[in-house]
């Protein structure tokens, strides 16, 4: 185990504690501070950390964006967003009042070198006033086209390197990290011209979810599951990341992205890696990230023919969600009436290694599906010999519910009471909320705290970001050159029929949450 990574082993009896390890004192600069992510997730997550004594006693949060705003206005809008649209739960007024004076606003244009020079002077001032020891965390949550310029400006203003060997400078870069393999490589080059890889934290908020990290605990913190975790016992794996929301107000971004770039290249492939990786030698950044990379490198690349056979795309038409009529994607504000953007993807991955040879990993994600649910369903082989003739014995399933009903259940056959030998599938359930008395904390709070402590285990390395793009590039290339028949699923349904055929041809069916 690395010095930076501390695993807190707690029994269920000792209860849930929202407190993470205290971070180093530092200045946190949020680029894109007036944007949605900053208001909905980042500032609320920082408040949550402060409220739970998981920030150092001295810190400063500097919001950088183009819009002119005073510190007070920034504090007020941040407070309102944290109370009204964030996921942190009820805000404690006393704790907010203690937190708000550490929020500062800095108006500046990303193109203006002078703005970065002035930012440097402001940070030096805050360092002195607050004892921040020269530690700086830059959080890049601007529109992606700004990333290269921003990084260059930080380098040019001398802000990318720590002032001495006791202080640190780190940068968190939001997704989308590029829009294909080539642009991701260029972005890596631009970033690594200015920062050292050890300073770079590429964020995928799925890795901050407790239930995603629990995949490792489930597999490697217990003795009884890992022996079953392979081709000998597992028939196939299904990963579903379903959303009932549509594109909302994000059409401008989503029209340039689509479900492969928005969900598969990052979140879904993270889940595949966490299910499929080999046991790392220890729970530290190098060991875990090496094993995740190996999974991505073992997934069979898609040839153009394979894309047609193993990948399905969809776009929602009008339909009904939770008894409300909703428009189709092409009728959403800001979407082109002949848009070819996919809002649904299903795919079958083959992992060519000893553990998983012959075990398909089916994944799917989509907007405007009947419910919001992310789950991993693992179907085991049927018993090799049917002793109970005539009884319908279902295979065992292991369900890992990532959200929103966080938990794990295992199904098995049990004898129905009565004189006859009848078997029914029942399940054993673990529910986070019941066991620990609370749901998960914000993924962003976990990841921000990790970064401030210098723990990169749950962040992406340059090589794995590129490996993930290398896998999805062929899909995007084939689709770019062909015209889809959209819309092909109604809002409120489980996606196009072709997604069912993808499984059906091997006699399998999707497990719908």
**Catalytic site residues?**
267
Give the separation between CA 296 and CA 353, rounded to whole angstroms. 11
Closer CB to ligand BG6, residue 122 or residue 205? 205
In the complex, minimum distance from the CB of residue 108 to ligand BG6, in angstroms, rounded to a whole number: 26
Burial class (CB in 10 A: 0-12, 13-18, 19+), 11: exposed
In the complex, minimum distance from the CB of residue 372 to ligand BG6, in angstroms, rounded to a whole number: 7
Closer CB to ligand BG6, residue 75 or residue 330? 330
The answer to whether the bond into 176 is cis (omega within 30° of 0) is yes
Give the separation between CA 105 and CA 72, rounded to whole angstroms. 8
Closer CB to ligand BG6, residue 262 or residue 455? 262
Among 154, 118, 4, 26, CA closest to 454: 4
Closer CB to ligand BG6, residue 106 or residue 459? 459
Longest dimension (CA), the chain: 85
Residues that bind ligand BG6 (CB under 6 A): 243, 262, 374
Give the separation between CA 175 and CA 265, rounded to whole angstroms. 10
The answer to whether the bond into 404 is cis (omega within 30° of 0) is yes
In the complex, minimum distance from the CB of residue 309 to ligand BG6, in angstroms, rounded to a whole number: 27
Give the separation between CA 65 and CA 34, rounded to whole angstroms. 6
Among 29, 197, 194, CA closest to 102: 29
- Convert 309-367 into a string of H (helix), E (strand) and C (coil): HHEEEECEECEEECCEEECCHHHCCCCCCCCCCCCEEEEEECECCCCCCCCCEEEEEEC
Q: How far is CA 512 from CA 355, 390, 401, 412, in A?
A: 26, 27, 12, 18
In the complex, minimum distance from the CB of residue 323 to ligand BG6, in angstroms, rounded to a whole number: 22
The closest residue (CB) to ligand BG6 is 262
Cβ partners under 8 Å of residue 116, min gap 6: 108, 153, 154, 156, 157, 159
The secondary element (H helix, E strand) that includes residue 409 is strand 407-415
Closer CB to ligand BG6, residue 174 or residue 450? 174
Give the separation between CA 324 and CA 358, rounded to whole angstroms. 42
Closer CB to ligand BG6, residue 43 or residue 373? 373
In the complex, minimum distance from the CB of residue 268 to ligand BG6, in angstroms, rounded to a whole number: 10
In the complex, minimum distance from the CB of residue 254 to ligand BG6, in angstroms, rounded to a whole number: 7
Closer CB to ligand BG6, residue 343 or residue 411? 343
In the complex, minimum distance from the CB of residue 91 to ligand BG6, in angstroms, rounded to a whole number: 21
Q: Return the structure tokens found at 31.
A: 């680029």
In the complex, minimum distance from the CB of residue 425 to ligand BG6, in angstroms, rounded to a whole number: 28
Closer CB to ligand BG6, residue 235 or residue 262? 262
- The Cβ of residue 356 has, within 10 Å, a number of other Cβ atoms equal to 22
């Amino acid at each position: 185990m690395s010095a930076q990574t501390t695993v807190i082993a707690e029994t269920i009896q000792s209860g849930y504690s929202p407190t993470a390890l205290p971070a180093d004192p530092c200045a946190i600069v949020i680029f894109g501070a007036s944007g949605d992510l900053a208001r909905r997730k980042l500032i609320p997550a920082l408040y949550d950390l402060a409220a739970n004594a998981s920030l150092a006693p001295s810190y400063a949060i500097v919001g950088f964006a183009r819009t002119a705003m005073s510190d007070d206005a920034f504090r007020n809008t941040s407070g309102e967003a944290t109370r009204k649209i964030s996921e942190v739960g009820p805000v404690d007024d006393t704790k907010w009042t203690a937190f708000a004076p550490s929020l500062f606003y800095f108006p500046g244009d990303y193109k203006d070198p002078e703005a970065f020079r002035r930012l440097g002077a402001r940070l030096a001032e805050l360092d002195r006033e607050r004892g921040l020891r020269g530690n700086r965390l830059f959080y890049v949550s601007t529109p992606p086209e700004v990333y290269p310029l921003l990084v260059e400006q930080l380098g040019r203003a001398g802000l990318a390197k720590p002032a001495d060997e006791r202080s640190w400078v780190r940068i968190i870069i939001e997704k989308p990290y590029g829009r294909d393999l080539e642009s991701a490589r260029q972005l890596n080059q631009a970033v690594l011209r200015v920062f050292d890889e050890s300073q770079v934290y590429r964020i995928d908020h799925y890795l901050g979810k407790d239930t995603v990290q629990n995949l490792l605990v489930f597999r490697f913190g217990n003795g009884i599951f890992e022996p079953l975790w392979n081709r000998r016992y597992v028939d196939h794996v299904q990963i579903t990341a379903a959303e009932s929301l549509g594109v909302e107000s994000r059409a401008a971004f989503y029209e340039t992205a689509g479900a492969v770039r928005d969900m598969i290249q990052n979140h879904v492939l993270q889940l595949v890696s966490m299910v499929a990786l080999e046991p790392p030698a220890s729970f530290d950044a190098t060991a875990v990230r090496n094993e995740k990379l190996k999974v991505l490198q073992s997934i069979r690349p898609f040839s153009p023919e394979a894309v047609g056979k193993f990948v399905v795309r969809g776009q929602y038409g009008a339909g009904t969600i939770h008894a409300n009529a909703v428009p189709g994607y092409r009728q959403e504000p800001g979407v082109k009436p002949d848009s070819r953007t996919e809002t649904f993807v299903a795919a079958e991955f083959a992992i060519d290694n000893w553990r998983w040879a012959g075990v398909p990993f089916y994944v799917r994600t989509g907007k405007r599906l009947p419910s919001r649910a992310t789950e991993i369903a693992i179907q085991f082989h049927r018993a090799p010999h049917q002793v109970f003739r005539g009884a319908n014995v279902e295979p065992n399933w292991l369900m890992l519910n990532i959200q929103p009903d966080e938990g794990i259940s295992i199904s098995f056959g049990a004898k129905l009471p009565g004189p006859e030998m009848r078997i029914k599938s029942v399940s054993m359930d673990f529910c986070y909320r019941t066991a620990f008395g609370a749901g998960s904390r914000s993924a962003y709070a976990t990841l921000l705290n990790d970064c401030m402590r210098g723990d990169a285990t749950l962040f992406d390395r340059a090589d794995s970001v590129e490996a993930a793009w290398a896998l999805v590039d062929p899909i995007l290339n084939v689709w770019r050159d062909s015209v889809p028949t959209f819309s092909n699923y109604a809002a409120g349904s489980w996606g196009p029929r072709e997604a069912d055929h993808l499984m059906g041809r091997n006699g399998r069916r999707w497990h719908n949450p």
